[in-house]
């Protein structure tokens, strides 16, 4: 770990990002060259899948292997309030006692989008000394796909007994999983769910990496060793080849998002906020179609 001075600076940076303090940008710029050394593991899945318990187990396990571990529980779900619903969230005592750095954040993605803002939170954890960061999305799986895009390894957590509609969703979420975990495997239907996931993987497009399907019961710590080993395997696979291209593609996507927002801000300075309002009024009154309105605003 770092000595106390840089560590205080890193902790302050983390708070600045969370609090949307404008000083965050300069601090990120000043420290940029010292970030980027962490490996990021994304964890997603439907509500009720037990993601936080699972992440805590994996984090403790990784810490025991010598990693300095950070956990970001990101709540992208409060675009209307901006408030954290995470404050009263239960976390296992284990993880925090064993030196795992856990941070629950509700962010609307003020620093150029949700993925970018979460990426900067990861960078702040790297400055705190973390070489391994779990990014867990609190919430609803599919909508959190965006956040997971910053992960080097993505773990998808499923759970038996969530109903038929969930089944239909798996097609989408399966495609992003490098590792599929059936949590709460002591429940009825766990074996069948694991079998279905395995079939889905085998029926899918052949890939360089075939996502393993494993059963765990995080609350009892069952299956965590095997899940961790699968993560290590995937990391080795990534680092032997695809990781660099993968990170480049993701960085390009992030820059694209941020550039869009920057160009918009610059344009608004030129044309004024009222232009947007009056364009919207014309579109609603059917005096202009939206495509023509956009062209006028852009040129």
Residues 63-92 binding a copy of itself (CB under 8 A) are: 75-81, 83, 85-86, 88-90
Instruction: Indicate whether 262 belongs to the interface with a copy of itself (CB under 8 A).
Output: yes
Instruction: Indicate whether 267 belongs to the interface with a copy of itself (CB under 8 A).
Output: yes
Instruction: Work out which of 20, 21, 23, 48 binds a copy of itself, going by CB under 8 A.
Output: 48
Q: Determine contact, residues 42/148, Cβ cutoff 8 Å.
A: yes
Q: Give CA torsion, residues 107, 112, 114, 120, to 10 deg.
A: -80
Q: Determine contact, residues 170/197, Cβ cutoff 8 Å.
A: yes
CB of 154 vs a copy of itself, minimal distance in Å? 11
Question: Of the two residues 66 and 274, which places its CB atom closer to a copy of itself in the complex?
Answer: 274
Beginning with the edge strand found earlier in the chain, give each strand of the sheet holding 132-137 in spatial order: 101-106, 69-75, 132-137, 39-44, 153-158, 179-182, 213-215
CB of 114 vs a copy of itself, minimal distance in Å? 11
CB of 58 vs a copy of itself, minimal distance in Å? 17
Instruction: Indicate whether 35 belongs to the interface with a copy of itself (CB under 8 A).
Output: yes
**Separation between Cα atoms, residue 62 and residue 225, nearest integer Å:** 10
Half-sphere exposure of 298 (CA within 13 A, CB side): 8
Give the SS3 label for residue 289.
coil
CB of 95 vs a copy of itself, minimal distance in Å? 17
State which of positions 174-213 bind a copy of itself (CB under 8 A). Answer: 175-176
Question: Of the two residues 43 and 63, which places its CB atom closer to a copy of itself in the complex?
Answer: 43
C-beta atoms surrounding 114 within 10 Å: 22
Instruction: Indicate whether 1 belongs to the interface with a copy of itself (CB under 8 A).
Output: no
Instruction: Indicate whether 169 belongs to the interface with a copy of itself (CB under 8 A).
Output: yes
Instruction: Indicate whether 280 belongs to the interface with a copy of itself (CB under 8 A).
Output: yes
CA distances from 184 to 4, 38, 162 (A): 40, 29, 12
Instruction: Indicate whether 107 belongs to the interface with a copy of itself (CB under 8 A).
Output: no
Q: How many residues bind a copy of itself (CB under 8 A)?
A: 84
Helix (H) / strand (E) element for 158: namely strand 153-158
């Amino acid at each position: 770990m770092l000595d106390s001075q840089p560590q205080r600076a890193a902790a302050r940076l983390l708070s600045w990002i969370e609090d949307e303090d404008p000083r965050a940008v300069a601090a990120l710029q000043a420290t940029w060259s010292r970030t980027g050394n962490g490996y990021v593991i994304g964890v997603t899945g439907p509500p009720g899948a037990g993601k936080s318990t699972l992440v805590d187990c994996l984090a403790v396990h990784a810490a025991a292997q010598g990693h300095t571990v950070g956990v970001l529980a990101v709540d992208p779900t409060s675009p209307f309030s901006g408030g954290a619903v995470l404050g009263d969230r239960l976390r296992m005592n284990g993880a925090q006692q064993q030196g795992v750095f856990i941070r629950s954040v509700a962010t609307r993605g003020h620093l150029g989008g949700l993925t970018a803002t979460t990426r900067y939170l990861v960078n702040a954890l790297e400055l705190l000394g973390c070489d391994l960061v779990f990014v867990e999305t609190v919430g609803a799986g599919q909508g959190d796909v965006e956040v997971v895009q910053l992960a080097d390894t993505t773990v998808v957590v499923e759970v038996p007994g969530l109903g038929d509609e969930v089944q239909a969703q798996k097609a989408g979420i399966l495609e992003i999983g490098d590792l599929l975990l059936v949590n709460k495997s002591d429940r009825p239907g766990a074996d069948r769910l694991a079998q279905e996931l395995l079939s889905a993987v085998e029926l899918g497009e052949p890939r360089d990496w075939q996502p393993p399907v494993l059963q765990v019961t995080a609350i009892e710590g069952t299956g965590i060793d095997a899940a961790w080993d699968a993560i290590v395997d995937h990391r080795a696979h990534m680092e032997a080849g695809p990781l660099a291209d993968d990170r480049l593609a993701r960085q390009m996507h992030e820059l694209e998002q941020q550039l869009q927002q920057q160009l918009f801000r610059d344009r608004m300075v030129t044309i004024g906020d009222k232009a947007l309002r009056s364009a919207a009024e014309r579109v609603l009154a059917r005096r202009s179609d939206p495509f023509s309105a956009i062209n006028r605003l852009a040129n």
